[in-house]
Chains A and B, each alone.
Chain A
């Protein structure tokens, strides 16, 4: 079956999208949610397990204080109310990666409810309502063997490693977001970006989407203007910020094509494919299993003491949005300039560079200029480029002290990025310091004049612009280590011409 998909413009001209996001965050605690097994990555299979996270008969869960605390902090950062009393619940379904065949989660009594997160989309503020933030446990990892691609389909058997089983997860669910129109994909991306920054500023998770410590499910539906919201699909496996945007867009287009052909949308789980940017059908939810939730009898209720919550609230760090606004003011930047810093992911780098003793202008110049260019060329993240904020600040210090010209500084930076050490060391090792000894410079100028008598005459005759060729000759003999401006002044002086 080949159908021509409608253009996105046509989709949004005809339909209104409603989106919603469910985000799972792996907390960076030392131990699992309900047992003392470590949460570190990369252990050999089934080496981070105990009777509790293996679900052995007789074992019992005990909740991790740090995980509860992190969840409350996330709730507070997302402007939620913290429940005065709540319980864990069991979500019952059979799957081999879940040792007990039920997941300990929260159901109708989440720890945090009714919050919001303000994000900006193209400079416009958008408030995303948060429905709930709750705690649960992760599952183990299943390896499908015998199939062509390591996928479940076609596999002849599966192998299960429970190292991840029981890692604390926080699930953050938005309320449905109507009214975003054509911007729905960007809104989804902006929300996940901002959420990631908030979580990172709280220090509760390493929020790496590629590694799965931040995972997104995207709900999408379409409706005609003035009509009820449509049937929604839930797209899973969305593993990058870019994919969040693409998943919403492609699902909107797909649904529009189904609806335009007179079809109806099936409530189902869909899987996003990074390579094609498409979603494909997963499990239909129309015959969804009944999870038979009930209060987890092995765990007693959580009733956070208001004093404790108040202490946690008082100790929250400045959240990214306010932090950025303050920096913009301190740095004296326009909205546009600030936006380009944000887009480059350079806020923290610039901040650290300034902290290491340089000016906002200089810090911005290096990170958005030379270093961003190199990052673009190599496809690396700015933060992983190989230069530290301290090195950049040191480099600028050498420029300020007149020891390096801008051009020399760029050369030094290249060697810094290549891992040759600190700017001062590279400058010394490679003998790149500005030639400021006037005697040596005068000799070089005289040599240049003597070697180019015709040009010298032109300059003497008033064609001052011709001096550039003499400057070039001097720079060549000094291997670029002279300050071009000084050289030019010296040439004009020796030739008796006013600059």
Chain B
């Protein structure tokens, strides 16, 4: 049985902001299916009581003093921008007012 459907792959592409072609979708679905079946092996490990590891270093409280450091100039900041206007980054019209904070 396939671990992932073509529809799921299409959904993942949308979530990932990838405008994949139909042809690509078919290839990707097959490849992701093989990979997912392989990585699903982690499920074989009995690990219910094992704490997860998110960081490789045993550090805590790495904090910076609240002291102002130098900024980029606006020219430097905008130097790589595909498009800019009024010293701001220009983007095409936004469809989805996805505000969350």
* Touch between chains A and B, by CB atoms below 8 Å: yes
Task: Identify which of residues 38-88 in chain B touch chain A, using a CB-to-CB cut-off of 8 Å.
Answer: 54-55, 57, 59-74, 77-78, 80, 85-88
Pairwise interchain contact A35-B88, C-beta atoms closer than 8 A: no
**Bound CA–CA A367/B91 (angstroms):** 52
Task: Kindly state whether residue A297 has any CB partner on chain B within 8 Å.
Answer: yes
B97 to chain A, nearest CB (A): 5
Chain B residues within 8 Å of A162, by CB: 77, 89
**Which of A95, A143, A144 interacts with B98 by CB under 8 Å?**
A95
B99 proximity list for chain A (CB < 8 A): 95, 236, 269, 282-283
Surface stretch bound by B, among A43-51, A321-329, A337-345: A43-51
CB-contact partner of B87 in A45, A103, A294, under 8 A: A45
A289 touches B72 (CB 8 A): no
B19 close to A (CB within 8 Å): no
Shortest distance from the beta carbon of A408 to any chain B beta carbon, whole Å: 51
| Docked-complex contact A161 and B88, CB < 8 angstroms | yes
Q: Which of B62, B65, B78, B101 has the most CB of A within 10 A?
A: B101
Chain B: minimal CB distance from A196 (Å): 19
Contact between A63 and B88, CB atoms less than 8 A apart: no
Binds B, one of A150-158, A385-393, A434-442: A150-158
Interface of B is mostly: loop
Is A65's beta carbon under 8 Å from chain B?
A: yes
Inter-chain contacts of A38 with B (CB < 8 A): 68, 71
Q: Which of A46, A171, A236 has the most CB of B within 10 A?
A: A46
Tell me the complex Cα distance, A245–B61, Å.
Answer: 40
Q: Shortest beta-carbon distance, A11 to chain B, in Å?
A: 29
Interface size class of A (residues with CB under 8 A): 35 or more
Given contacts A38-B68, A64-B66, contact A47 B74 (CB under 8 A): yes
CB atoms of B60 and A303 under 8 A apart: yes
A36 at the interface (CB under 8 A from B): yes
Closest to A168 in B: B66
Q: Is A139 an interface residue (CB 8 A)?
A: yes
Contact with B along A148-187 (1 / 0, CB 8 A): 0000100111111110000001010000000000000000
Contact A282 B97 (CB under 8 A): yes
* CA A290 to CA B88, docked complex, whole Å: 29
With a CB–CB cut-off of 8 A, which chain A residues contact B55?
295, 297, 300-301
Q: Do A68 and B63 touch across chains, with their CB atoms under 8 A apart? A: yes
Instruction: For B59, give the chain A residue with the smallest CB separation.
Output: A300
Evaluate contact between A30 and B69: CB separation under 8 angstroms.
Answer: no
Closest to B17 in A: A94
Q: In the complex, A142 Cα to B96 Cα: how many Å? A: 13
Interface residues of A in 354-402 (CB under 8 A from B): none
Number of interchain pairs (Cβ within 8 Å): 152
Bound complex: CA of A62 vs CA of B65, how far in Å? 10
Chain B residues near A301 (CB-CB < 8 A): 55, 60-61
How far, in whole Å, are A87 and B97 apart by their CA atoms in the complex? 29
Closest to B92 in A: A157
Q: How far is the CA of A157 from the CA of B91 in the complex (A)?
A: 6
B93 touches A94 (CB 8 A): no
**B72 near A44: Cβ-Cβ < 8 Å:** no
* A171-209 near B? 1/0 per residue, CB < 8 Å: 100000000000000000000000000000000000000
Q: How far is the CB of A142 from chain B (nearest CB, A)?
A: 8
Q: Does B94 contact A (CB under 8 A)?
A: yes
Decide if A331 is an interface residue (CB 8 Å cutoff). no
Q: How far is the CB of B55 from chain A (nearest CB, A)?
A: 6
Given A63-B63, A157-B92, are A49 and B71 neighbors across the interface (CB < 8 Å)?
yes
B88 touches A156 (CB 8 A): no
Given A54-B77, A161-B88: A152 and B94 within 8 A (CB)?
A: yes
In the bound assembly, the distance between CA atoms of A56 and B92 in angstroms comes to: 20
B54 contact set on A, CB distance < 8 A: 87, 294-295, 297
A265-301 vs B: 1/0 string, CB under 8 Å?
A: 0000100000000000011000001110011010111
Q: A241 — which chain B residues lie within 8 A by C-beta? A: none
**Is A85's CB within 8 Å of the partner chain B?**
yes
Is B1 part of the binding interface, using a Cβ–Cβ cutoff of 8 Å? no
Residues 43-85 of A at the B interface (beta carbon under 8 Å): 44-51, 54, 56, 62-68, 85
A64 and B64 contacting across the interface, CB-CB below 8 Å: yes
B: residues with CB less than 8 A from A are: 15, 17, 54-55, 57, 59-74, 77-78, 80, 85-94, 96-101
Which residues of A come within 8 Å of B, CB atoms? Answer: 24, 29-31, 35-38, 44-51, 54, 56, 62-68, 85, 87, 91, 93-96, 103, 136, 138-139, 142-144, 146, 152, 155-162, 169, 171, 236, 269, 282-283, 289-291, 294-295, 297, 299-305
14 contacts between A and B (CB under 8 A): A30-B66, A38-B71, A44-B74, A46-B88, A47-B74, A49-B71, A50-B69, A62-B63, A96-B94, A143-B86, A158-B90, A158-B91, A283-B96, A290-B15
The 7 closest A-B CB pairs, nearest first, are A36-B69, A66-B66, A159-B88, A65-B63, A295-B54, A303-B60, A300-B59
Beyond A160-B91, A290-B15, A301-B61: 6 further Cβ-contacts under 8 Å? A46-B78, A62-B62, A138-B101, A146-B93, A283-B98, A300-B57
